């Protein structure tokens, strides 16, 4: 027997309709590429999103056509988010930090029809456009007057000239909720990038989940600054959740340095911010020497890579900001776990609470997860046993775009490529990437644990642990360190620093000092690159 | 082009699976009909819900069969919630406060196969079972030993004997998410009751929405006491949302008096409670004379009928508890609006905030609403213009069970039977029931406004405003008042009390004092009954 409830598809257009109707005058503030601060509101975004949809119709773009962006976080990007998906096209946010050849490869693979880009990326587009076979139209996110005369890019128009004259009314596409809404390529450190193709349904369900009190806890009382880029898994879904709850959005544009982010946090009464550890490191680096405090910031979600414990402590204890550890991936829209305490943890002493906060967190309702050993057997949830982390749920991919890489699932579960423990309370902790684990004498050493210890040393700015071939133990860990400017630490001092902090056999055999560790487009350390740099390195005594 | 995300149906069984896996040791505390306090946890509920499912299978009940309950809020009722819907049957929560003939009528109309009842309702079941043609099995929610030998009820078993011996493993039904999950009859003051038939999908989407920060704001740090009965629109969806977020649940059983509720709030560290105004009136009535305070309660949602402003003020100012006004109806699962402030309201002075808090609130994402005039034209959202309130959304009914009452929708919108205003910020305020509005000299007078003023008088316990025929003005309002025990107020004093609080022509023409105002099964005033009592009443001077 079927229920007798109304059939309303879960479509992205319903988000912008809701935000305009119930939160029309709630502000959307953007630091523009031009450098100034731009102010609009949800009604303004909705009106211009409809203009974008009309402009796309004007170019006879079909339902399902991919519309690409190379853009910072800002109001125009937000308009494109809703205008593209709302009109039944597929939003393709390209990561501009990728190598130009990869940008072109991705645009071709996605068969993008239109590319909208911030003027920052004009040189990149000039470099790649000849390689992009399917792009018929280029849109520069600027006023007509700001468009240079001779860019060499064919069919280039300014965004404002293109959409500004369109009608502000539009009937949003009535589409099946499983229709594709956006596409995002993984940064794939090995092989060609593969893409997750999100649906309207998965996006709305993810938006509900992301706004929950135990996740990002988003409401109409929040002012939200996503430092995480809109080209990085839709800024973790924040634009969608904010439309759902009517939160104020504050976009940092291209200026992600500590000073710029701090000024925006303070000027716009930001209550919630989200980003990768690197950005928060820069923010604290700006605030600490100047003795600055937060006026309104209450909580941050930190994700994208494991967060150094020292940073969580600094935010909580020195600045009174609640830091939530998050974990997810492109293939998961991206949220999988958030680390919020349970009722029973509230009376624990601070150090025991911290032990929990350092984990990646509990599965959000909708996401199911398990850890399995080499033999595929599920491991116990005791916080000690570890295994490959597998996930499933309505915002997890079932396959990659165009079937790349074959069937990625194992019996319906998506293998994350992470190694993790899960404790009795359901808190998951990543112990390593499957490929970064150091296998020494038949035991596994978590490269992340080794890095975190080094990061706690006052002279260490960045640390990477990698395995090096060893004749007897198969592999032994070494730690590669970038020192903080003006501070010193010797090899022996750092090795000594490990004493008592980890098992003796897990202490790195050596320290290598470098000026920089190679970072990927999303700010993650590129260990593959690092290993190439260390190709001639030899362990002491071998 | 379709998205490439996993297809996971939104099923109620996924809630209990999640709660057991990630919040297994989170407590479920119940005051039993037996009088004692019973403690279990989400793992215990899940295990016994699976036993219930096996027990239902044992009786060869088909998918879609209706399983009825006549039960208070408690752990056994919760087990039945998940055991019944999870195994593909339809949960039918009958309101035991209905007249016995109505209970039988409803059971027959729903074609219930099983009736599970608390021992409190044994006399009721003894009275109605002969009329219930479709019920094959009766289950008394007690131990085998507590079952009286000679009840006269055929096929009666005790719950514990029936399900206690079943296997604790069960594969939850794999069903389409649009399958019916539960059924709830309206209390319908006119005509026969009609039923909303909820689906798994509508229930899960409602559970997401209800847990949002701007709605009930439910998390794993909450201890939740639903005073609102589980037979009243699934306790506003609280059991489902609590399973979703892993909150602790505290059930008050049959004891809803102020003292019992207060003791439970304090003993179980309750942070959030929900119920109709009558219950809170009793609670404050217990606390005030004894000078009691709340230890942990942070917020309440008050709904079911318009909440007297004086109560919101008392909770906020005297007890520091945030009171949220809610509005919904059986046909809406039930939540439509919640009254939480926006960012821009936070700096308003308290009296202006209170003006907003007195409204029913903003539409939750998913619920779309509009107000229309007699001509069907949409009215402006200016907080002044009013009209019939229409709603739509994925947890709003499209028709009643068995098509009763024909097509209830107007162009796809469900007419709520309420008259309301909506302001520029989207805050909806019910001004009256369509049928209770007093039409005086071509103008509409809100009976609720007139009642709220009387309720603010210190000697008034309850007030009802009804229209009385008038030769010149068509109708004129009078106010029917129940005085607080030991306190006095005269007709003239109360009429004087209205001066300056409303327009002169809206002041009631008379006051009628009664010992009690008839209340319906859900605690709402029955104005139809009241009008019958006043059938011989004549306005002064007519």
Tens-place pLDDT, residues A118-142: 999 999 999 999 999 999 999 999 9
Question: pTM (2 decimals)?
Answer: 0.89
pLDDT of residue B334: 96
Summarize pLDDT for A329-362 with one digit per residue, the tens: 999 999 999 999 999 999 999 889 999 999 999 9
Which residues 231-250 on chain B approach chain A with CB closer than 8 angstroms?
Answer: 244-248
Active site residue A331: yes
The answer to whether residue B188 scores a pLDDT higher than 70 is no
Residue A465: count of CB within 10 angstroms of its CB: 27
Give the pLDDT score at B319: 94
Flag if A340 and B205 touch (Cβ within 8 Å): no
The whole-angstrom distance between A409's CA and the closest CA on chain B is 10
The pLDDT assigned to A190 comes to 57
| Domain extent listing, chain B | 22-422, 437-533
The fold adopted by the segment(s) A437-533 is GMP Synthetase; Chain A, domain 3 (3.30.300)
Cα separation, A328 vs A120, whole angstroms: 29
- Give pLDDT tens digits for B338-378: 999 999 999 999 889 999 999 999 999 999 999 998 788 99
Query: Using a CB-CB distance cutoff of 8 angstroms, which residues of chain A are in contact with residue B202?
Result: 3, 5
Contacting residues of A for B62, CB less than 8 Å apart: none
Which of A313, A404, A444, A484 is the catalytic position?
A444
Q: Is the pLDDT of residue A84 over 60?
A: yes
- Tell me whether residues B212 and A214 touch, CB distance under 8 A: no
Whether residue B365 lies within 8 A of chain A, CB to CB, comes out as yes
Rounded Cα distance between B420 and B160, Å, is: 48
Contact criterion met (CB < 8 Å) for A5 and B343 = no
Percent of chain B residues topping a pLDDT of 70 = 98
Structure tokens at B370: 């509009």
Per the CB < 8 Å rule, is A199 touching B63?
no
Q: What is the pLDDT of residues B146-184, one digit of tens each?
A: 999 899 999 999 999 999 999 999 999 999 999 999 999
Residue A532 has pLDDT above 90, yes or no: no
Chain A from 244 to 303: CB within 8 A of any B CB: 244-248, 269
Its ipTM equals 0.89
Beta strands in A393-484 (DSSP E): 414-422, 428-433, 438-440, 443-445, 460-470, 474-483
Q: Which of B5, B218, B365 sits opposite A202 (nearest CB)?
A: B5
Q: Is A419's pLDDT higher than 80?
A: yes
Q: What is the pLDDT of residue B465?
A: 94
Chain position carrying tokens 């709305």: A204
In this complex, is the C-beta atom of B399 within 8 Å of any C-beta atom belonging to chain A? yes
pLDDT band with cut points at 50, 70 and 90 for residue A110: very high
Confidence band for B9, pLDDT divided at 50, 70 and 90: very high
According to the 3-state scheme, what is the secondary structure of B193-250? CCEEEEEHHHHHHHHHHHHCCCCCCCCCCCEEEECCCCCCHHHHCHHHHHHHHCCEEE
- E strand or H helix that includes residue A277: helix A277-290
- On chain B, the residues whose CB falls within 8 A of the CB of A361 are none
Judge whether A179 is closer than 8 Å to chain B, CB to CB.
Answer: yes
- Could you give the percent of chain A with pLDDT greater than 70? 98
With beta carbons under 8 A apart, name residues in chain A contacting B90: 1
- Overall average pLDDT of the B507-529 stretch: 87
Q: Which range, of A237-246, B43-52, B57-66, B275-284, averages the lowest pLDDT?
A: B275-284
pLDDT at B442: 67
Flag whether pLDDT at B230 surpasses 80.
yes
Please report the residues numbered 94 through 153 in chain A whose beta carbons come closer than 8 angstroms to any beta carbon of chain B. Answer: none
> In this predicted model, what pLDDT tens digit does every residue of B380-411 receive, in sequence order?
999 998 899 999 999 999 999 999 989 999 99
At residue B291, the 3 state secondary structure works out as coil
Minimal CA separation from A506 to chain B, in Å = 32
What value does the mean pLDDT take over residues A433-451? 82
Answer yes or no: do B197 and A63 touch at CB < 8 A.
Answer: no
Cα–Cα distances in Å, from B130 out to A382, A494, B155? 54, 84, 12
Closest CA to A540 of A455, A489, A446, A468: A468
Rounded Cα distance, A81 and A59, in Å: 18
Q: What are phi and psi of A56, to 5 degrees?
A: -65, -40
B484 labelled catalytic: no
Interatomic CA distance for residues A398 and A476, integer angstroms: 37
The confidence band for B190, taking pLDDT boundaries of 50, 70 and 90, is low
The single residue of B439, B469, B532, B538 carrying the catalytic annotation is B439
- pLDDT over 60 at A488, yes or no: yes
Residue B439 pLDDT? 79
Which of these ranges, A391-400, B98-107, B187-196, has the smallest mean pLDDT?
A: B187-196
Tokens linked to B198: 């909820």
Interchain CB distance below 8 Å, A213 and B199: no
Task: State the catalytic residue, choosing from B27, B111, B151, B444.
Answer: B444
pLDDT higher than 70, residue B191: no
pLDDT at A306 over 70: no
Q: Is the pLDDT of residue A189 over 60?
A: no
State whether A180 and B362 contact (CB < 8 Å).
no
Catalytic one of A79, A177, A331, A451: A331
Confidence band (pLDDT; 50, 70, 90) for B43? very high
Structural tokens at position A540: 């002491």
Q: Is B439 a catalytic residue?
A: yes
Instruction: List all residues 6 or more positions away from A512 whose beta carbon is below 8 Å from its beta carbon.
Output: A478, A479, A480, A481, A534, A537
DSSP code of residue A110: H
B67 at interface of A, judged by CB pairs closer than 8 A? no
pLDDT in tens, B100-142: 999 999 999 999 999 999 999 999 999 999 999 999 999 999 9
pLDDT digits (tens, 9 = 90+) for B465-474: 999 988 888 8
Cβ of A7 and B248 within 8 Å? no
Tell me phi and psi for residue B318, to 5 degrees. -90, -30
CATH class of the domain at A22-422: alpha beta
Interface check A378 vs B, CB under 8 A: no
Task: Give B-chain residues touching A15 at CB under 8 angstroms.
Answer: 365
Residue of B nearest to A62 (CA): B1
pLDDT digits (tens, 9 = 90+) for B432-477: 877 888 878 767 788 888 999 999 999 999 999 999 988 888 889 9
Answer whether residue A305 shows pLDDT above 60: yes
Cβ atoms of residues B57 and B65 within 8 Å:
no
């Amino acid at each position: 027997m079927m229920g007798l409830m109304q059939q309303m598809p879960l479509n992205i257009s319903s988000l912008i309709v809701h935000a305009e109707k119930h939160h029309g005058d709630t502000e959307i503030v953007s630091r523009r590429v031009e450098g100034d601060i731009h102010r609009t509101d949800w009604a303004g975004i909705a009106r211009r999103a409809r203009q974008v949809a009309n402009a796309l119709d004007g170019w006879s773009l079909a339902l399902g056509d991919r519309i690409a962006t190379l853009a910072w976080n800002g109001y125009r990007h937000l308009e494109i988010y809703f205008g593209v998906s709302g009109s039944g096209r597929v939003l393709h946010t390209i990561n501009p930090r990728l190598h130009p050849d990869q940008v072109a490869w991705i645009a071709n693979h996605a068969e993008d029809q239109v590319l909208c880009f911030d003027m920052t990326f004009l040189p990149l587009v000039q470099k790649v456009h000849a390689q992009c076979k399917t792009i018929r139209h280029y849109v520069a996110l600027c006023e007509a007057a700001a468009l240079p005369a001779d860019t060499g890019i064919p069919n280039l128009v300014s965004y404002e000239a293109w959409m500004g004259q369109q009608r502000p009314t539009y009937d949003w596409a009535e589409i099946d909720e499983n229709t594709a809404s956006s596409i995002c390529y993984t940064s794939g450190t090995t092989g060609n990038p593969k893409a997750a193709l999100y649906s309207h349904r998965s996006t709305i369900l993810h938006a509900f989940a992301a706004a929950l009190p135990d996740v990002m806890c988003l409401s109409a009382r929040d002012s939200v600054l996503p430092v995480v880029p809109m080209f990085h898994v839709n800024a973790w879904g924040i634009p969608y959740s904010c439309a759902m709850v009517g939160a104020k959005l504050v976009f940092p544009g291209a200026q992600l340095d500590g000073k710029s982010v701090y000024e925006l946090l303070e000027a716009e009464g930001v209550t919630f911010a989200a980003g990768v550890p690197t950005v928060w490191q820069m923010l604290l680096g700006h605030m600490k020497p100047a003795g600055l405090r937060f006026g309104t910031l209450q909580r941050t979600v930190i994700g994208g890579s494991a967060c150094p414990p020292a940073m969580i402590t600094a935010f909580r204890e020195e600045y009174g900001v609640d830091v939530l550890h998050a974990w997810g991936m492109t293939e998961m829209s991206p949220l999988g776990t958030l680390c919020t305490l349970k009722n029973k943890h509230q009376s624990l002493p601070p150090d025991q609470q911290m032990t929990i906060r350092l984990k990646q967190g509990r599965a959000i309702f909708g996401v199911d997860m398990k850890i399995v050993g080499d033999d595929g057997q599920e491991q116990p949830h005791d916080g000690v046993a570890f295994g490959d982390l597998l996930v499933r749920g309505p915002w997890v991919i079932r396959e990659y775009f165009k079937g790349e890489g074959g069937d990625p699932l194992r019996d319906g579960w998506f293998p994350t490529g992470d190694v993790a423990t899960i404790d009795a309370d359901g808190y998951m902790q990543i112990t390593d990437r499957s490929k970064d684990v150091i296998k020494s004498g038949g035991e596994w050493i978590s490269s992340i644990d080794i890095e975190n210890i080094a990061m706690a040393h006052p002279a260490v700015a960045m640390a990477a642990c990698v395995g090096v071939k060893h004749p007897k133990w198969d592999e032994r860990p070494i730690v590669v360190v970038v020192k903080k400017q003006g501070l010193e630490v010797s090899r022996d001092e750092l090795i000594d620093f490990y004493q008592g902090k980890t098992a003796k056999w897990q202490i790195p055999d050596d320290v290598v000092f470098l000026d920089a560790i190679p970072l990927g487009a999303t700010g993650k350390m590129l260990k593959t690159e690092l290993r190439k740099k260390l190709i001639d390195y030899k362990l002491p005594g071998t």
